[in-house]
Structures are given as C-alpha cells and as structure tokens.
C-alpha cells in the first residue's frame, strides 16, 4: 500500500474518495441505490428501465449471493475525479439542461432547472461513474470486480451522447495507470450492441490500451473516426443469433488476450444484444448472454488477468433478471465469489453460499 501511496504523491494526483480501502468481508461488487433514476415518471419517457440496477441487486440478494453487508457502496465521482479525463469545458456544458437532454435523449429535461437535472439524472450517473473507478481498483486487488452500473461507452473526454454523460471506462483505466503500481496496459472488451466510440476516441493515440469491439454495424453511432482505435473489430449484421455470436466472441476474446497480455481487462457487458431489444437489432437469447459473460470471464481468469465488468446498455424489463442470472452463473462456475480469489482459479464448490462466509460473520436470521 505504501508503494501505491508514494506513487500517488509522486504523480501529484489529487486526493480521491474512490480509492479508499474496502473491508475484506465485502465482495468486489459495487452498487448504490443512488444509481437508479426516478423522477416524476420522466424516466418512463426513455425507452428503458431506469431502475434496472436496483433490480439486479434485489435478485442477487434474493438468491443470498449479496447481503447489505457484503456489497461495496459506490461513491459519487467528484469534479476533480472527473477532470482526470474530462475537460472543464465539457463539465461546464452539463450545466445546461438542453445539453443534458440531448446527451441522455430525455427531451423533457430541457424544461427542468439545472439543479434538478444535476440531482436527479447527473448525480446517479456520477455515482455509477464513481462505481466503475472503485471497481477498477478492486479488480486489481481481488482478481475480478463488477460494477452493477456504468459502461457509458459513448462518452469521451469532451463529448457525451447516447445516454452517456461521463466516460467511466476511460476514467477507471486512467486512474489505474496513474495510481496503481504495475498497471500499464489495459484491454477493453466491448460487447454492448453499439460501437464504443467514447473510450475509442479517448484512447485513439494510446498504445497502452487494446480495444476489441463487437457491435451491430448498422446502428448508432457509426463513428468511423473512433473505429481507428479498435484493434479487433467484429461487425455484426442485423439479427445475429447465438451460435454465430458466441463463436465470434470466444475466438476474438482468446485471440485478443493471446495477442497482448494486459494488466486489466475492462469488460463492457451490454445486454442490448438481447433478442427484441428496440435499439440493438441483434437476436441473442438470455442463455446466450449468460454464456457470453462466462466466455469472457473464463478467458481472463484462466490467464490470471484481473477483470472489471460494467453492465452498460440493455434496458428491457427482463434485462435485470438476465444480468443477475449471469452473475450467479459466474459464481457457479467458480469464476467469481469469495473463493475465486486472485489468480487462484476456481476454488469454490459449485453452489456454495459465499457472502456470509466471506464476511466472516454469522448469517443473519431472516
Ligand atoms: Zn448499447
């Protein structure tokens, strides 16, 4: 720890609340009730379930994988934290409700005073952003981490869009590069249905970051400039189904990690690839999504490479259940959980309850 701290001082990095110690009893799963956007029914005007993050955690608690005591509470990213990547010009623009309405694609926000937009929309997104930064450090410490939110892959240092107001993926990687000894290479595996043009623009000239992106070639954002940052580009056609998709994901995950061995994998696990998603235009089944996440985790964990997962796009009503089921599957496979520690590989017996054991406290009688 003292090594890391001295590096922090040497670099003259600002003081952040996002890198404080997390008790060993906690699983490296980051979440806050603040993630969820609920305000005067405005959230219903966007074609998505703005409470999906809370529902994921609810399902994981129902299955006793998570408890109030073993989850890591996300903190809001401060302005100084955001300035590690964002320009002040961009952050100032978010003080205009019109700009936020455009970025989030919730037009009625235009008519709200900015203090309400800040409190009800941007604060949840800043908290999710803080969560991704926190989960980056946890992934290095524990071998894996999941932010139940985040994955705002259309936002870059100076531009938001597609519901993404903060560049959480870029931020978590830059925080690691600046503050954690021994982290100098990252691989982003972006499997959301959309092209991740935000982090691509941010890392366009940065050879430390290897980007693999698998997306529907015909939909938003079609950012040709940003595509130049992609080392492994897999463009899919409308209605791509499980078999073809999973084959490609496995082939290219293995290929990417064989090509360059990073110090961290950031996995953008968007679920808008799900069949019937109004935006994604692909046709992957719930079982296909669960298998996909398993393939990515296995590829990283087998090599002993820390992996950070963020949940990104996908806002159908059934999405939260699928994300929860996928995390439970990762646990059954021994790829996450308190037994799945750093580089130790799978060591947890299938179906072993993890939280209370990990916490080292008696199971609360409930
Ligand atoms: Zn998407």
d(CA 306, ligand 1 centre) in Å: 24
Q: Could you give the residue numbers annotated as active site? A: 154
Q: Which domain holds residue 231?
A: 49-332
**pLDDT > 70? residue 9:** no
Please, which residues bridge with residue 187 across strands?
Answer: 210, 265
Residue 69 in any domain: the answer is yes
For residue 167, which of 81, 109, 279, 105 has the smallest C-alpha distance?
81
> What is the Cα–Cα distance from 259 to 279, expressed in whole angstroms?
32
The stretch 170-177 carries a mean pLDDT of: 98
Confidence at residue 334, expressed as pLDDT on a 0 to 100 scale: 96
Confidence at residue 42, expressed as pLDDT on a 0 to 100 scale: 63
d(CA 344, ligand 1 centre) in Å: 33
Task: Please provide the DSSP assignment of 210-248 as one string.
Answer: EEEEEEETTSTT--HHHHTT-SEEEEEPTT-BHHHHHHH
d(CA 352, ligand 1 centre) in Å: 33
* Phi-psi map region of 53: left, alpha, beta (phi>0 left; psi -120 to 50 alpha): alpha
Residues 6+ apart with CB under 8 A from 243: none
> What is the Cα–Cα distance from 336 to 177, expressed in whole angstroms?
24
Residue 56 in any domain: the answer is yes
Residue 8 in any domain: the answer is no
d(CA 193, ligand 1 centre) in Å: 5
**Average pLDDT along the chain:** 89
d(CA 194, ligand 1 centre) in Å: 4
Residue 27 in any domain: the answer is no
The stretch 115-119 carries a mean pLDDT of: 93
For 355-366, the pLDDT digits (tens) are 333 333 333 333
Helix, coil or strand: residue 85: coil
Confidence at residue 50, expressed as pLDDT on a 0 to 100 scale: 78
For 136-171, the pLDDT digits (tens) are 999 999 999 999 999 999 999 999 999 999 999 999
d(CA 135, ligand 1 centre) in Å: 21
**How many other β-carbons are positioned within 10 Å of the β-carbon of residue 325?**
19
d(CA 167, ligand 1 centre) in Å: 14
Q: What is the CATH number of the domain that holds 162?
A: 3.40.800.20
Residue 14 in any domain: the answer is no
Neighbours of ion ligand 1 (CB under 5 A): 192-194, 270, 272, 313
Total tally of structural domains belonging to the chain: 1
For residue 201, which of 241, 177, 167 has the smallest C-alpha distance?
167
Residue 35 in any domain: the answer is no
d(CA 248, ligand 1 centre) in Å: 18
Residue 258 in any domain: the answer is yes
Question: Can you say whether the dihedral through the CA atoms of 117, 121, 122, 127 is positive or negative?
Answer: positive
Residue 350 in any domain: the answer is no
Confidence at residue 114, expressed as pLDDT on a 0 to 100 scale: 93
Single pTM value for the model: 0.90
d(CA 265, ligand 1 centre) in Å: 19
The stretch 91-105 carries a mean pLDDT of: 95
> What is the Cα–Cα distance from 186 to 233, expressed in whole angstroms?
17
Give 38's pLDDT tier (boundaries 50, 70, 90).
confident
Question: Which two three-digit tokens encode residue 24?
Answer: 């060993």
Helix or strand holding residue 23 (H, E): none
**How many other β-carbons are positioned within 10 Å of the β-carbon of residue 360?**
10
- Name the DSSP letter for residue 72: E
The stretch 232-238 carries a mean pLDDT of: 98
The stretch 208-223 carries a mean pLDDT of: 98
Query: In percent, how much of the chain has pLDDT > 70?
Result: 86
Confidence at residue 345, expressed as pLDDT on a 0 to 100 scale: 40
């Amino acid at each position: 720890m003292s090594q890391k701290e001295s590096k922090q001082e040497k670099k003259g990095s600002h003081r952040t609340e996002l890198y404080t110690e997390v008790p060993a009893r906690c699983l490296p799963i980051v979440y806050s009730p603040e993630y969820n956007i609920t305000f005067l029914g405005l959230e219903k005007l966007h074609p998505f379930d703005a409470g999906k993050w809370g529902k994921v955690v609810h399902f994981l608690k129902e299955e006793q994988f998570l408890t109030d005591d073993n989850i890591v509470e996300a903190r809001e990213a401060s302005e100084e934290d955001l300035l590690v990547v964002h320009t002040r010009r961009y952050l100032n623009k978010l003080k205009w409700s019109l700009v936020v309405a455009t970025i989030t694609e919730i037009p009625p926000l235009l008519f709200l005073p900015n203090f309400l937009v800040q409190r009800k929309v941007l604060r949840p997104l800043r908290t999710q952003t803080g969560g991704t930064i926190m989960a980056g450090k946890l992934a290095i410490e524990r071998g894996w981490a999941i932010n139940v939110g985040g994955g705002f892959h259309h936002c870059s240092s100076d531009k938001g869009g597609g519901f993404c107001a903060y560049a959480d993926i870029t931020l978590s990687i830059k925080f690691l590069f600046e503050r954690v000894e021994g982290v100098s290479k990252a691989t982003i595996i972006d499997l959301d249905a959309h092209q991740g043009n935000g982090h691509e623009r941010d890392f366009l000239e940065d050879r430390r970051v290897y980007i693999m992106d698998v997306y529907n070639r015909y939909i938003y954002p079609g950012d040709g400039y940003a595509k130049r940052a992609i080392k492994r580009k897999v463009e899919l056609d409308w209605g791509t189904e499980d078999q073809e998709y999973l084959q490609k994901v496995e082939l290219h995950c293995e290929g990417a990690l064989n090509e360059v061995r990073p110090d961290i994998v950031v996995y953008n696990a968007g679920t808008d690839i799900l069949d019937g998603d109004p935006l994604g235009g692909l046709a992957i089944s719930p079982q296909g999504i669960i298998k996909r996440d398993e393939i990515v985790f296995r590829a990283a964990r087998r090599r002993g490479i820390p992996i950070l997962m963020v949940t990104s796009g996908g806002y159908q009503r059934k999405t939260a259940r699928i994300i929860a089921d996928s995390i439970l599957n990762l646990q059954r496979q021994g790829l996450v959980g308190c037994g799945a520690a750093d580089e130790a590989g799978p060591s947890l017996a299938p179906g072993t309850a993890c939280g209370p054991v990990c916490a080292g406290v008696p199971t609360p009688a409930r």
